[in-house]
Amino acid sequence: MTPPRPASDPGSPGNPSPSPSPSSGSPSPSSGSPSPSPSSGSPGSPGDLDSQGYDGLLALAVDVALAAGRLLASREGREGRVPVAATKSSPTDVVTEMDRRSEELIRARILRARPGDAILGEEGGQTGDAPVRWVIDPLDGTVNYLYGLHDWAVSIAAEVSGVIVAGVVSVPRRGEMFGATLGGGAWLESGGARDALRCGPGVPLAQALVATGFGYQAARRKAQGDVVAAVLPRVRDIRRGGVASVDLCSVAAGRVDGFYERGLHYWDYAAGGLIAAEAGAVVGGLGGAPASPSMTIAAGPELFGALADMLAGLDAERDG
C-alpha cells in the first residue's frame, strides 16, 4: 500500500488543516491558521530553528509537563472524586476543573518563557499567530483521572512552521516521561534513566497486540464496537487504556504492536505521533492518507500495511 503521510486535525474548528509531509518514520505535521478552512500558506521545512533549537523547545516542554503533572497528581484522590465541571460532545465526554487548571498552568509557563508563541489547547483553543505553536492536551485520559485510575497523561508538542519538531508525553503516576525531537529519535525517562525507544519487531497481524480507543457519541461507539469485534479474532489481543497519547508511546516502546482509533483530535496525537514515528513506527491513516480525526494508525513498518488494510476492509471510518 502507499505509505501514509502524517498530518493534522482538519475536522475540528481551531485545529490545523492537512499538509504535505514525509512518509513513514516522520512525525505528524500541521499547517495553517486556527480556522477550519485550509491554510493560504503551504508549510515548508521548520527552518526557524535548528536541531539545537528543537532541544530547547523539548526542554521547555519537559519542564512544563512535569509541573502540570505535579498539579494534577496533587488533587487526584483527595476529597473524593474530582467533580465534573462541564461536558462537551456528549454526557460522557467530561471536563474537570483540573483540565482547565492544568491548561492554564501550561499556557502561563510557556508564554513566560516564549511570550511570542502561539498555543492550541484542548480547553482554550487557539491563541496567537506565530511560526512556533504549542499543541497541548492538559489532561489526556480525563475519565481515568475522574475515577482515580492511574493511566492519564500530559501531552505537549511544539510546531515550527507547521511541522511538529518536539513532543513529550508525561505519565505522572507511572513516573514516566516520553519525548522526541524531529530527527533526534525518541526516548523514555523513568527512574532517573533515559533510554532510546524503538518500536517492536515486525509480527504477523495474527500475532499483533493492538491498542485502540472509543469515541463518546453513541452511534460512533456502536460502530467502533462492531469494528473491534471483527478485529479481535484476527489479532493476538486488544488493549484499551483510554489515553491515546500513551497508546502511541506504547507503540514506540514496543509495549503494543499497533494502535488505531477514529475520532482523535490533533492534540491527542501531536506529541505521541512524533514519539512513535521517531521510534521507527509508521503513523498515518487509511489508503495512504495522513493521520487525522477520521483515522489514526501507528505500527511498525512490517505491520502497518496489514493493519490498515484490515481496517479499510471493515469500513472502520464509518459512524453508523
Kindly tell me if the per-residue pLDDT of 288 is higher than 70. yes
CA 227 to chain centre: 22
pLDDT score, position 46: 59
- Identify the residue whose cell numbers are 532541544: 55
pLDDT by residue (tens digit) across 2-60?
Answer: 344 333 333 333 333 333 333 344 333 333 333 322 222 223 355 556 666 899 999 99
pLDDT score, position 15: 35
* Residue ranges of domains in the chain, CATH in brackets: 51-196 (3.30.540.10), 205-313 (3.40.190.80)
Kindly tell me if the per-residue pLDDT of 228 is higher than 60. yes
Mean residue pLDDT across the chain: 84
**Mean of pLDDT values over 147-175:** 96
What is the percent of the chain with per-residue pLDDT over 90, rounded to a whole number? Answer: 69
pLDDT by residue (tens digit) across 116-150?
Answer: 999 999 989 999 999 999 999 999 999 899 888 89
pLDDT score, position 77: 46
DSSP 37: S
Kindly tell me if the per-residue pLDDT of 243 is higher than 90. yes
| C-beta atoms surrounding 307 within 10 Å | 24
For 146-178, give the DSSP string: HTT-S--EEEEEEEETTEEEEEEEEEGGGTEEE
Task: Please report which helix (H) or strand (E) contains residue 132, including its range.
Answer: strand 132-140
C-alpha span between 214 and 143 (Å, rounded):
12
**Mean of pLDDT values over 211-218:** 92
Confidence of residue 298 (pLDDT cuts 50, 70, 90): very high
CB 282 within 8 A of CB 24: yes
pLDDT score, position 141: 94
CB 94 within 8 A of CB 146: yes
pLDDT score, position 84: 63
**Mean of pLDDT values over 234-257:** 98
215 vs 36 pLDDT, higher one: 215
| C-beta atoms surrounding 48 within 10 Å | 12
Best CA proximity match to 136, nearest among 155, 113, 163: 155
C-alpha span between 20 and 96 (Å, rounded):
36
Long-range contacts of 74-79 (CB under 8 A, 24+ apart): 76/145, 76/148, 76/173, 77/148
172 vs 27 pLDDT, higher one: 172
Confidence of residue 95 (pLDDT cuts 50, 70, 90): low
229 vs 89 pLDDT, higher one: 229
239 CB burial (10 A radius; 0-12, 13-18, 19+)? middle
Confidence of residue 201 (pLDDT cuts 50, 70, 90): confident
pLDDT by residue (tens digit) across 52-83?
Answer: 689 999 999 999 999 999 999 987 545 555 66
For 182-197, give the DSSP string: TTTEEEEEETTEEEE-
What are 161's three cell numbers?
A: 512552521
C-alpha span between 216 and 98 (Å, rounded):
20
Pairing mode, if any, of strands 132-140 and 153-160?
antiparallel
Confidence of residue 109 (pLDDT cuts 50, 70, 90): very high
pLDDT score, position 303: 98
Show the CA angle centred on residue 49, arms to residues 27 and 47, nearest 5°: 75
Best CA proximity match to 220, nearest among 319, 88, 296, 295: 319
What is the percent of the chain with per-residue pLDDT over 70, rounded to a whole number? Answer: 78
